[in-house]
Amino acid sequence: MANHSYAILGTGAIGGFYGGKLQKAGFEVHFLLNRDYEYVKENGLIVESVDGDFTLEKVNAYNDVAQMPRCDVVMVALKTTQNHLLPQLLPPLLKKKSIIVLLQNGLGAEEAVAKFVKHQPILGGLCFVCSNKIGPGHIRHLDYGTITLAEYSPKGEAAGNTNNMRLVGADLEQAEISIIRHEDLLLARWKKLVWNVPYNGLSVVLNAKTNQIMANKHTRRLAEDLMQEVVAGAAACDRIITEEFVEKMLDHTEKMKPYITSMKLDYDRRNALEVEAIFGNPLHMAKLVGVDLPRMWMLYQQLKFLDVQNRG
Amino acid sequence: MANHSYAILGTGAIGGFYGGKLQKAGFEVHFLLNRDYEYVKENGLIVESVDGDFTLEKVNAYNDVAQMPRCDVVMVALKTTQNHLLPQLLPPLLKKKSIIVLLQNGLGAEEAVAKFVKHQPILGGLCFVCSNKIGPGHIRHLDYGTITLAEYSPKGEAAGNTNNMRLVGADLEQAEISIIRHEDLLLARWKKLVWNVPYNGLSVVLNAKTNQIMANKHTRRLAEDLMQEVVAGAAACDRIITEEFVEKMLDHTEKMKPYITSMKLDYDRRNALEVEAIFGNPLHMAKLVGVDLPRMWMLYQQLKFLDVQNRG
């Protein structure tokens, strides 16, 4: 299968790590870069990883999709705040049977891509990974790494365990990337929000790490209240998330090492926050069926304010 | 009427300003101080005021209630975060017919005092004033100044326009303090919360002045949503606050000069925040009758976290 070619849009913590592993495993990989283009074209990529460090002295680096070849698989590893660029970036890279994989947070990205990509399948790839870009072409992978793959279905129902998921999944496993195949993309994305909504949001608003949120009885309770609202939002989309899952997220976070969320890292770097993907889109989806999630709305409103102030 | 004697508990922005005006008008005033005791005993009080500056070269200063005489009126101008001290501070100052006036924020202080003061009447004094202590014995009064007076009634109903309110009100007017007499203390306190809940809370959580909260469409909406929850809380206590009042608060705040709330000043000085008086007590009052106010709870939980982190 190593004959599949890969395009990686966005060569940061996510794209650099997973794209790097694919190239290391022998796949043909083409990396789109922005600020780091010159550096990476010259020097390649360094991946420091708990699974073993490696260096790619030479990579196919681009700063313009028009220069890139069409690929069998196109992986989008941009922040969702860049998704307004996808109608320009994606089409030049697509073959008739390319598979698109969105390695992104939150809800709504697959729907948005499906509006201008009519024929190619779209997968969601939910990354449970702790990885940072610490310099140009320099990735540090600290923990975890599993990608949950699920296929988008235009009618919103579960697509099942599809052939496209098997194709991409086999490649990823060949590159020593652990994967989980999920039959229902929407459920998988709502389940990830159970964690992302409280901790990403509160970490920014309260300037706090996960352990601080959990150590205070008021914010621990608030985190749980927010999780329950996410469960209610999922239920509004006919997706059932169990009490046990919520308990597991709370327990897991309590036992985890102190963690700075990705939204807090973006905030501290004065980058745009993924407020619409993680908050706005789920809120609108729930509202469409008449379900109000007041705490999540309030967190959305607070983050919209802080995001503007922070970059203003 | 200038023969009434006054005890002022807490000689800061509120107590120093109003107590100073009473002494200036000829009343016998006794000031309880803490940190500034030595300085004020030696140097008196300076009040810089938009209504005219004045200096009191000599004041009756104390750092121990046991040294103070019993007074006709006892005004409590401490922050509500100090109210656990009142069972020790108040009784030694009371005559059989003393009137107690609580110049404090939020809800619940009169109820708490009524638990250990059985025979003397208790008034609430709601201060609409912009005043700061800028140094030991040095008060700067910037704007406004009206006190809304209303009498506490143990059964929670409106006490009406009482004789005690007339007595104290006449003294205050003699001291050139503008007053409003309100027949219903609980309604007056809930109405003040319509402003205090959104702006005090959000100014701390979002590190923002009132104008910034109003200029962003998301937080302006959030401020309004929070006001509506306060209106719902008041309704749960059988107190009606009209839509026009909410509109007026929003309009007024929009037109106001950029303002740093008292809770934000406390936060920046690393003082304890009045979270229980302004948030906790109203929330519990509403909860007792089964009314849930989710945004206000969330703000309470966020403030409880920030208050501890800020002083920890």
pTM, two decimal places: 0.95
Residues B78 and B222 in one domain: no
Is residue B192 part of the annotated active site? The answer reads yes
The predicted-structure confidence for A3-51, as pLDDT tens digits, reads as follows 899 999 999 999 999 999 999 999 999 999 999 999 999 999 999 999 9
The predicted-structure confidence for B239-287, as pLDDT tens digits, reads as follows 999 999 999 999 999 998 899 999 999 999 999 999 999 999 999 999 9
- Asked if B16 and B45 count as a contact pair (C-beta separation under 8 A), the reply is yes
Query: Which residue bears the tokens 């999944």?
Result: A169
Q: What average pLDDT does the structure give for chain B?
A: 97
pLDDT of residue A160: 97
With cut-offs at 50, 70 and 90, classify the pLDDT of residue B155: confident
Q: Decide which of A183, A210, A231 is a domain's last residue.
A: A183
**SS3 of residue A107 by DSSP:** coil
| Interchain proximity A298–B298, CB inside 8 Å | yes
B238-261 in b/e form (b: 16+ CB < 10 A) is: ebebeeeebeebbeebeeeeebbb
- Best mutation site among A204, A211, A218 for testing chain B: the one with the most B CBs within 10 Å? A218
- For chain A, how many structural domains are there in total? 2
The predicted-structure confidence for B68-98, as pLDDT tens digits, reads as follows 999 999 999 999 999 999 999 999 999 999 9
Residues A75 and A206 in one domain: no
pLDDT of residue B1: 45
**Residue B137 Ramachandran class (φ > 0 left, ψ -120 to 50 alpha, else beta):** left
B222: enclosing H helix or E strand: helix B217-236
Spell out which residues of chain B touch residue A212, defining contact as CB-CB under 8 Å: 305, 309
Q: Decide which of A136, A158, A183 is a domain's last residue.
A: A183
CB of B206 within 8 Å of any CB in chain A? yes
Q: Is the dihedral of CA A93, A99, A104, A105 positive or negative?
A: positive
Give the residue-averaged pLDDT of A107-136. Answer: 96
Residues B197 and B173 in one domain: no
B20-32 in b/e form (b: 16+ CB < 10 A) is: bbbbbbebbbbbb
User: How many Cα atoms sit within 13 Å of A231 on the Cβ side?
Assistant: 15
Residue A1, pLDDT > 70, answer no
Residues B45 and B177 in one domain: yes
The boundaries of the domain holding residue B73 are 5-183
* ipTM given for this complex: 0.94
Q: Which two tokens stand for residue A183?
A: 């039959």
With cut-offs at 50, 70 and 90, classify the pLDDT of residue B3: confident
CB of A269 within 8 Å of any CB in chain B? no
- Asked if A30 and A4 count as a contact pair (C-beta separation under 8 A), the reply is no
| Interchain proximity A302–B205, CB inside 8 Å | yes
Residue A84 belongs to a domain with what CATH number? 3.40.50.720
Q: Which among B221, B225, B301 has CB closest to A219?
A: B301
pLDDT of residue B2: 58
Q: Percent of chain B scored above 90 by pLDDT? A: 96
- DSSP symbols for A59-105: -EEES-GGGSPPEEEEEE-S-GGGGGGHHHHSGGGEEEEEEEEE---
Q: Decide which of A183, A214, A243 is a domain's last residue.
A: A183
| Interchain proximity A301–B212, CB inside 8 Å | no
- Asked if A245 and A188 count as a contact pair (C-beta separation under 8 A), the reply is no
Closest chain A residue to B226, measured at CA? A298
Choose the catalytic residue: A21, A79, A191, A192: A192
Choose the catalytic residue: B79, B191, B192, B209: B192
Residues A193 and A170 in one domain: no
Spell out which residues of chain A touch residue B207, defining contact as CB-CB under 8 Å: 309
Residues B102 and B213 in one domain: no
CB of A309 within 8 Å of any CB in chain B? yes
pLDDT of residue A2: 58
Residues B30 and B172 in one domain: yes
Residue B233 belongs to a domain with what CATH number? 1.10.1040.10
CB of A211 within 8 Å of any CB in chain B? no
